[in-house]
Structure 1
Amino acid sequence: MRLLIARIALVLSLLLPVWFMVAALGVKFDLWSWRLGLGVLIIQWGPRLLIGALVIALVALVATLAKSPRTGWRAALIALLIPALGFGYLAYVRGQSADIPPIHDVTTNVEDPPIYSEALMAVRTAEDANPVAEFSAQLTSLPAYQGPRFAPLAGKSLGQVGEEAYPELETLVTAAAPADAFTAAEAEARAQGWTIVSADAGTGMIEATAETFWFGFKDDVAIRVRPGEAGAAIDMRSTSRVGLSDLGANAARIEAYMTALSGRLAD
């Protein structure tokens, strides 16, 4: 009986990763909405399932160790470790996101950011994506930022919040000619695995869409190459289509791209 309990606990714990993967991939393949997959299946039910599996595994471990012969305790221990690791990961994510502002639109140039085309904005509107606000807009004046939880951000613009959180994001200045910089910028955007929406060498604008693996969340990217004082100046913007906070994903994307592009231009 104790061995059976341990095996049941192990099977339930092994099914936990399957639950989370199915919830995420269901969103990616349009089987259900991200609000159901992320909001309900993962955020609401995920911790409950972890707690349930943890309790059952703990009971199984105690039962298998209570008296001889102590069989099945290894299975029970593995069953206990799986949800424990799940809670550890959730705690890590919560800790990482504690200092990340709840924004989903960042750029290297808040004073003069790249502007998305009407065609791309039409796609965002059709998908009921996050509205694209001016970086000069007061954050708490925007509809998504109403309520007491956003009071600490009162008086700050969207651009200010982004600059304070990600001071490393800056315009990339290069000695390369604008045409060469544009060619390198487009090549690097393709190398990142993004879907190129448009690339106009005449205006120096590149638009692309990045998609996450698990959920298939789409973030829009705008890259602008302009003549600089002695070469070219490259700015970038990255904006999530869904979610209030991007957990730093857009800033990380910009930093990774600019670093790679800088290396490409230096070759």
Structure 2
Amino acid sequence: MAMAIRYERPYSHSAHWARRLAWVGLVVFLAAALSHRFGPLTTPHFLVLAGSGAALSALAVVLSGIGFIRLWRVGARGGRAAFVALLLAALPLGVAGYAAYAYFTRPMIYDVTTDPFASPPWLKVPVAHQDFLARPPVTLQDREIQATAYPELTGRRYEGALDRVLEGVRKVADEQGIVFTGEAGLENVISDLEDLAVKPDGDTGGESAITVVPVPSARPLEEGFLPRIGGPSDVLLQGEWRSLVFGFRFDVSIRLREEEETALVDMRVASRYGPHDLGLGAAFAERYLKALDAQLLGIAGN
């Protein structure tokens, strides 16, 4: 009687360990992200935990590759586990890869402004425990680096009364998620609607007034001297903004200044933690100013 031979496929331990590590890495990463976005976890601790999750995911990818090699060479069981490990590791490694790309392609600055010569001041200087994310103070060289990297980040001049521009600034800030924590100089806002409405000669008030819409124009060139940073006639608004997905904290300062029947708006955005904002500060400032342009183009001096 012939003896039946039963072939037993080898077992790939690396593939199954890859799946386990990928699960752990994903859970650690998601827990850190949710705690940072909605909980009390600070950015330095988030970076440590998220980096740990990404490291576990990277190790899972290596073990998954070994599992696929074993499957190809000897038909070892574990192909499905190795594939699942790759799927689970995609999110932590994708975020880590994007962060690394931004870190090396964006300038290493954490404070950007539309006025590099005299940026809007802080009403209250933001203070945060940096842990291992120590950063130097902002220098003139940092402003020059910013001007080279983000040449389109400039202030705005609007042909409108200061109170009308302030109204638009507040509305856009609310839409963009800025929460104001301090204000100064509001007594300088004087309602003067005569520069927003022009009546033709002989108008008795029965006809509708022709309105002038505030239109943004380029900032004037510097005159070779440093303008005042926070003068007595300025309106200063300070607040904070958090990024949508991971909730990175940024401090925001907006300065309004009335000059020759126009209103100048300058903005400053600084990351709360770390020496590098990965380009998020400049991106948010540009998005806010574009939204402000659109908002003020629809304001008429009624």
TM-score interval for Structure 1 and Structure 2 normalised by the shorter chain:
0.7 to 0.9
Query: Could you tell me which residue of structure 2 aligns to residue 48 of structure 1?
Result: 55
Amino acid at match of 2:45: L
Q: 1:162-214: per-residue Cα shift (whole Å, max 9, x none)?
A: 21221111111122221100100011111111212134533422211112355
Query: Could you tell me which residue of structure 1 aligns to residue 68 of structure 2?
Result: 61
Equivalent residue of 2:30, what SS?
helix
2:24/2:56 contact within 8 Å kept: no
Q: Which runs of 5+ in 1 are unaligned?
A: 131-142, 147-154
- Aligned-pair CA distance for 1:237: 0.5
Instruction: Choose which of 153, 170, 184 in structure 2 pairs with 1:186.
Output: 170
Cα gap change, 1:156/1:199 in structure 2, threshold over 3 Å: closer, same or farther? closer
Cα gap change, 1:199/1:187 in structure 2, threshold over 3 Å: closer, same or farther? farther
Query: Could you tell me which residue of structure 2 aligns to residue 116 of structure 1?
Result: 122
Amino acid at match of 1:42: A
Cα distance in 1 for residues equivalent to 2:92 and 2:34: 18
Amino acid at match of 2:172: E
1:2/1:60 contact within 8 Å kept: no
Q: 1:209-264: per-residue Cα shift (whole Å, max 9, x none)?
A: 11235554321111112223442111101112211111111111110100001000
Instruction: Choose which of 105, 130, 149 in structure 1 pairs with 2:111.
Output: 105
TM-score, L = length of structure 2: 0.67
Instruction: Choose which of 65, 73, 83 in structure 1 pairs with 2:89.
Output: 83
Cα distance in 1 for residues equivalent to 2:152 and 2:81: 47
The Cα RMSD (Å) is 3.1
- Aligned-pair CA distance for 1:156: 5.4
Alignment of structure 1 residues 187-266 onto 2, 5 Å:
187-200=171-184, 201-202=186-187, 203-213=234-244, 216-266=247-297
Cα gap change, 1:5/1:128 in structure 2, threshold over 3 Å: closer, same or farther? closer
1:109/1:171 contact within 8 Å kept: yes
Query: Could you tell me which residue of structure 2 aligns to residue 12 of structure 1?
Result: 21
1:6/1:64 contact within 8 Å kept: no
- Aligned-pair CA distance for 1:56: 2.3
Cα gap change, 1:30/1:76 in structure 2, threshold over 3 Å: closer, same or farther? same
Q: 1:17-56: per-residue Cα shift (whole Å, max 9, x none)?
A: 221121233345225x433331x3233x345312321122
Cα distance in 2 for residues equivalent to 1:254 and 1:114: 13
Equivalent residue of 2:83, what SS?
helix
1:221/1:238 contact within 8 Å kept: yes
Equivalent residue of 2:66, what SS?
helix
Cα distance in 1 for residues equivalent to 2:71 and 2:161: 71
Cα gap change, 1:64/1:2 in structure 2, threshold over 3 Å: closer, same or farther? farther
The structure carrying a bigger helix percent of its residues is 1
Q: 1:61-98: per-residue Cα shift (whole Å, max 9, x none)?
A: 33444456x86524422323543665455344323332
Amino acid at match of 1:248: G
1:211/1:217 contact within 8 Å kept: yes
1:25/1:214 contact within 8 Å kept: no
In the comparison of the two structures, how many residue pairs are matched? 238
Query: Could you tell me which residue of structure 2 aligns to residue 37 of structure 1?
Result: 46
Alignment of structure 1 residues 120-135 onto 2, 5 Å:
120-121=124-125, 124-125=126-127, 127-128=128-129
Cα distance in 1 for residues equivalent to 2:251 and 2:168: 19
1:2/1:63 contact within 8 Å kept: no
Cα gap change, 1:2/1:252 in structure 2, threshold over 3 Å: closer, same or farther? same
Q: Which moved more, 1:245-254 or 1:200-209?
A: 200-209
Cα distance in 1 for residues equivalent to 2:281 and 2:94: 24
Equivalent residue of 2:105, what SS?
coil
- Aligned-pair CA distance for 1:129: 6.3
